[in-house]
Structure 1
Amino acid sequence: MDRKIHIMAIGAHAGDMELTCGGVLTKYAMEGHMITLLHMTAGEKGHPKLTDDEYRKQKIGEANAFAEKIGGKAIVLDYKDGELPDNDDVKFQVCDIIRDKKPDIIITHWKNSMHKDHATTYRIVQDAYFYAAIKSFKRKLPAHFVQGLYFAENWEDPYEFKPYVYVDISKSFDKWIDALRSYEFVVKSPSFKYLDYYSALSVVRGAESRKTYAEAFAVDPLGMKQVYDYFPVR
Structure 2
Amino acid sequence: MEHSILAIGAHIGDMELTAGGLLATCALQGGSIMTLALTAGEKGAPKGADIAEYRKQKVQEAENFAAKLGGKAKVLDYPDGLLADDDAARIQVAAVIREVRPELIITHHSQSMHKDHAACQRIVKDAWFYAATAGFDLPGAPHFGKLIFAENWEDAPGYHPYLYKEISPEGFALWQEAIQCHWFVTGSKSFPYMEYYSHLKRLRGIEARRQYAETFMVSPEEQRVILPL
TM-score (norm 1): 0.94
Q: 2-side partners of 1:221 and 1:10: how far apart?
A: 20
Q: Is the 8 A contact 2:202 2:213 kept in 1?
A: yes
Query: What is the CA-CA distance between 1:190 and the residue it aligns to?
Result: 1.2
Matched letter for residue 27 of structure 1: T
Matched letter for residue 213 of structure 1: Y
Residues 1:62 and 1:137: Cα distance change in structure 2 (over 3 Å): same
Query: What is the CA-CA distance between 1:134 and the residue it aligns to?
Result: 0.8
Query: What is the CA-CA distance between 1:191 and the residue it aligns to?
Result: 0.8
Note the 1:1-234 alignment, pairs <5 A.
5-47=3-45, 48-146=47-145, 148-171=146-169, 172-230=171-229
Q: How big is each residue's C-alpha offset from its partner over 1:66-123, in whole Å with a ceiling of 9 and x where there is no partner? A: 0011121100111110010000011011111111111111000000000000000000
Q: Is the 8 A contact 2:7 2:105 kept in 1?
A: yes
Which SS does the other structure have where 1:160 is aligned? coil
Matched letter for residue 132 of structure 2: A
TM-score (norm 2): 0.96
Q: Is the 8 A contact 1:64 1:73 kept in 2?
A: yes
Q: Is the 8 A contact 2:98 2:139 kept in 1?
A: no
How many residues are paired up?
227
Matched letter for residue 13 of structure 1: H
Query: What is the CA-CA distance between 1:170 and the residue it aligns to?
Result: 3.4
Which SS does the other structure have where 2:74 is aligned? strand
Query: What is the CA-CA distance between 1:211 and the residue it aligns to?
Result: 1.2
Q: How big is each residue's C-alpha offset from its partner over 1:119-160, in whole Å with a ceiling of 9 and x where there is no partner? A: 0000000000001111111223221111x1111000000011
Matched letter for residue 17 of structure 2: L
The percentage of aligned residue pairs carrying the same residue is 50
Which SS does the other structure have where 1:13 is aligned? coil
Query: What is the CA-CA distance between 1:225 and the residue it aligns to?
Result: 2.4
Q: Structure 1: which 4+ aligned runs deviate by more than 3 Å?
A: none
Q: 2-side partners of 1:108 and 1:17: how far apart?
A: 7
Q: 2-side partners of 1:38 and 1:175: how far apart?
A: 20
Q: 1-side partners of 2:89 and 2:43: how far apart?
A: 21
Structure 2's unaligned 5+ residue stretches are none
Q: How big is each residue's C-alpha offset from its partner over 1:156-181, in whole Å with a ceiling of 9 and x where there is no partner? A: 00011011111121321111001001
Over the aligned positions, Cα root-mean-square deviation in angstroms equals 1.2
Structure 1's unaligned 5+ residue stretches are none
Q: 2-side partners of 1:103 and 1:64: how far apart?
A: 19
Q: 2-side partners of 1:113 and 1:128: how far apart?
A: 19
Q: Is the 8 A contact 1:26 1:71 kept in 2?
A: no
